[in-house]
A = this chain, B = another copy of it.
């Protein structure tokens, strides 16, 4: 994952991965059928991790505003903690050739997430909850995009505060 994220999927060779992992190429192929299968597993691990976090938030007994705040905080937190990981995830979203067979799965997940967030906004009393959900998702993804590109040069903490203030003005 580190290598894929740092150098790109195509520029990372199985040899490099094996060397970095301290195992032989042969052994890698005992655990993963192909380079693409390895990528698939990496992605799925991320997806499941995200799903779990999301589920925890939704199943909590916090109110809608609190859930949105938590979701925002957690999103920022995850990205800041595993920047490389998410850089890879995002970059892959644009390398459609590397993801054949995986896209439908991801597409469905994305739609579900939108629905969940739309639900939160509905409970918050938004006029157009679904559009609001799209908008909220765009804000977060846009910020992540910029952060991934600029890294330390990006005012990530300030932006987090800014986002929370915009979507949850009544807090505090």
The size class of the interface chain A forms with chain B is 35 or more
Known: A131-B162, A134-B159, A162-B131. A8 touches B94 (CB 8 A): yes
Interface string of A95-108 (1 = CB under 8 A from B): 11110000000010
Compute how far the CA of A137 lies from the CA of B154 in the bound complex, rounded to whole angstroms: 13
Compute how far the CA of A57 lies from the CA of B13 in the bound complex, rounded to whole angstroms: 45
Q: Does A81 contact B (CB under 8 A)?
A: no
Interchain nearest-CB distance for A131 vs B (Å): 5
Q: Does A93 contact B (CB under 8 A)?
A: yes
Interchain nearest-CB distance for A144 vs B (Å): 8
Interface string of A154-169 (1 = CB under 8 A from B): 0100110011001000
Give chain B residues whose Cβ lies under 8 Å from the Cβ of A159.
Answer: 131, 134-135, 138
Give chain B residues whose Cβ lies under 8 Å from the Cβ of A137.
Answer: 142, 146
Q: Does A39 contact B (CB under 8 A)?
A: no
Give chain B residues whose Cβ lies under 8 Å from the Cβ of A95.
Answer: 8, 11, 91, 94-95
Q: Is the CB of A149 within 8 A of B10?
A: no
Q: Does A143 contact B (CB under 8 A)?
A: yes
Interface string of A76-87 (1 = CB under 8 A from B): 000000000001
Q: Does A17 contact B (CB under 8 A)?
A: no
Interface residue ranges, A against B (CB under 8 Å): 6-11, 87, 90-91, 93-98, 107, 110, 128, 131, 134-135, 137-143, 145-146, 148-150, 155, 158-159, 162-163, 166
